[in-house]
Amino acid sequence: AKSQGKNNIQVYENTLHQALIYERQIQKDLVVAIKNHQLKFHYQPIIDLKSKNIIGFEALTRWHHPTKGLISPSEFIPIAEQTDAIKLLDEQLLDTVGAQLQQWHQYTDKPYYISINISAHRFVDSKLIDDINQVIEKYHLEKGQIVVEVTEHILMENKAKARHLFHRLKLAGIRISLDDFGTGYSSLSYLHQLPFDILKIDRSFVTNITEHNQENPIINMIVALANTMKIDLVAEGVETPLQLETLSKMQCQFGQGYHFSKPLSAEDTLKLVKNGH
């Protein structure tokens, strides 16, 4: 029995060792991929649930690894955040988003916005505002066209700095969206202290809307809260007609999810924009 236990430890250590090797390899490949502009940005439409018009897009980063295939951003973003590569990626994202908005403007007068996910290190970096302002100027955009999405987790990492930057972003006219709303420990207290422009109801609440579960007191409460505070509300992860209908009945204004569209390549997004959606 004793040697059995030892073997188990051996197996465990081997697995751990392999995981470490895998992560180091991914980290190396990622740095190279970012430097060579091999990561792509996709755009997922955000819809007005009543009119079904597109009001904006969320930018989501995609990495197609040459041998390992598509790797999820939930996996590679935290790895990129361990190195300076994340800064380069953020720069590419912001500049690409600016260029995208300018290009769309040649085909439409609709003032679409693009919201970008902000990494933790970025939200305490006061250069963020200058960088966004520079892109707005370079591509002749309206201030409201770039929205930053933050999670409660990010705000918690460095409370004082995050709060300071939050207010500077507001002063600069840049809109801020609270992502994954309802999943954190103190979402309500954040709302009370920081004037967000947009709330995104976390997908887990929307997933709960099923035929067998038509009562949704939490979503009702969030809708009422957003209305009272005059904050735009976006439901994430809308996948079924029933979810759309239910959210619409509850007076949730906006939604995003596979029911409308998956995140699209730049080319496919341009087609949508040209078609006047």
Among 174, 180, 181, 191, binds ligand C2E (CB under 6 A): 180
Transcribe 221-274 into DSSP letters.
HHHHHHHHHT-EEEE----SHHHHHHHHHTT--EE-STTT---B-HHHHHHHHH
Query: Which two tokens mark 29?
Result: 């490949």
Q: Which residue is nearest to ligand C2E (CB)?
A: 257
Going residue by residue from 25 to 54, which x/- string records binding to Ca ion, judged by CB under 5 A?
Answer: ------------------------------
Whichever of 29 and 180 has its CB closer to Ca ion, that residue is 180
* Interface segment toward ligand C2E; rule CB under 6 A; list 98-106, 189-197, 211-219, 234-242: 234-242
Judged by beta carbon distances under 5 to 8 A according to partner kind, the member of Ca ion, ligand C2E, none in contact with residue 23 is: none
Assess 179 for contact with Ca ion (CB under 5 A).
yes
Residue 54 CA to residue 273 CA, distance in Å, equals 9
For residues 127 and 140, which CB has a smaller minimum distance to ligand C2E in the complex? 127
CB of 251 to Ca ion, least distance (A): 21
Residues 6+ apart with CB under 8 A from 57: 43, 44, 45, 46, 112, 113, 114, 115, 269
C-alpha 201/C-alpha 228 separation (Å) is 16
CA 112 from centre of chain: 16
Q: Which long-range contacts (CB under 8 A, 24 or more apart) does 204-210 make?
A: 204/237, 205/235, 206/235, 206/236, 206/237, 206/238, 206/239, 206/243, 206/247, 206/257, 207/237, 207/239, 209/240, 209/242, 209/243, 209/246, 209/247, 210/242
Site for ligand C2E in 28-67 (CB under 6 A): 44, 60-61
Q: State the minimum distance, in angstroms, from the CB of residue 149 to ligand C2E.
A: 6
Angle 85-105/73-80 helices, nearest 10 degrees? 120
**Binding to Ca ion (CB under 5 A): which residues in 237-266?**
none
Binding mask of the shown chain, residues 106 to 125, with x at each position contacting ligand C2E by CB under 6 A: -----------x-x------
Q: Give the shortest CB-202-to-ligand C2E separation in angstroms.
A: 8
Neighbouring-strand partners of residue 272: none
Pick the closer one to Ca ion by CB: 34 or 235. Answer: 235
- Of 158, 204, 154, nearest in space to 177 by CA: 154
Q: Which does 239 bind (CB under 5 to 8 A by kind): ligand C2E, Ca ion, none?
A: ligand C2E
Residue 269 interaction partner, one of ligand C2E, Ca ion, none, beta carbon < 5-8 Å per kind: none
Minimum CB distance to ligand C2E smaller for 182 or for 257: 257
Binding region for ligand C2E (CB under 6 A): 44, 60-61, 72-74, 77, 93, 117, 119, 179-180, 237-239, 256-258, 263
Binding region for Ca ion (CB under 5 A): 117, 149, 179-180, 236
